[in-house]
Amino acid sequence: MIKIAVFISGRGSNLNAIIQAIADKRLSAKIETVISNDKDATGLIIAEQHGLNTFAISQKGMTRAQHEEKILEHLSKFKLDYIVLAGYMRILSPDFLKHFKSEQGYYKVINIHPSLLPAFPGIDSYKQAFDYGVKVAGVTVHLIDENMDRGKILAQEPFPRFGDDTLETFTQRGLSVEHSLYPAVLQQIAKHGIEKK
């Protein structure tokens, strides 16, 4: 079983998928704490409904270093295997990441991104892909490194764009892929760890 901290900034749909996968015994993991940089994130309500520890701290009025220091202080109370980013809209600094460096040299911080990286990095990736007119989009689960959306890819899953798609239907299809892919990849990590390559 892996012990994880889940970082969110918004509605918490991937957090909810992870919670459900744990409840259904599809994922051998324990969520030690849920962190958010937005005290009003609806994902925090989901976490609290499931009796999970939560910690919310806005970065407003703080430097990045001060904000991350507060989060590290909270995380120090737990023995964690991985940090799982699930719609966390802040870039983590190298100073933060170094606290989670594995013996193999990678950071034990996992992210899900709504595109087939390296295509469409950054924000609004479904909209970027939709506006570009892709025929196939997808979802990537990857390790975090010092570069945005550039770490080692752990898994990718494509999905089609249909002719009558709106941005909304296209995005919904992507989200359903996210909600099955992320717990599945985390379960692979729980069973086999992360390959050194």
pLDDT digits (tens, 9 = 90+) for 111-138: 999 999 999 998 899 999 999 999 999 9
DSSP-derived secondary structure letter, 193: -
Which residues are paired to 112 by β-bridges? 141
Check residue 196 and give its pLDDT: 59
Q: What is the mean pLDDT of residues 163-181?
A: 97
pTM listed for this prediction: 0.94
Check residue 197 and give its pLDDT: 53
Q: What is the mean pLDDT of residues 160-171?
A: 96
pLDDT, the chain, mean: 95
d(CA 147, CA 174): 24
Check residue 148 and give its pLDDT: 78
Check residue 146 and give its pLDDT: 87
Chain segment 98-114, per-residue pLDDT in tens: 999 999 999 999 999 99
The answer to whether the CB of 63 falls within 8 A of the CB of 35 is: no
Active-site residue set: 113
Q: Residue 38: CA atoms inside 13 Å, Cβ hemisphere, count?
A: 15
Which domains occur in the chain, in start order? 2-192 (3.40.50.170)
Identity of residue 66? Q
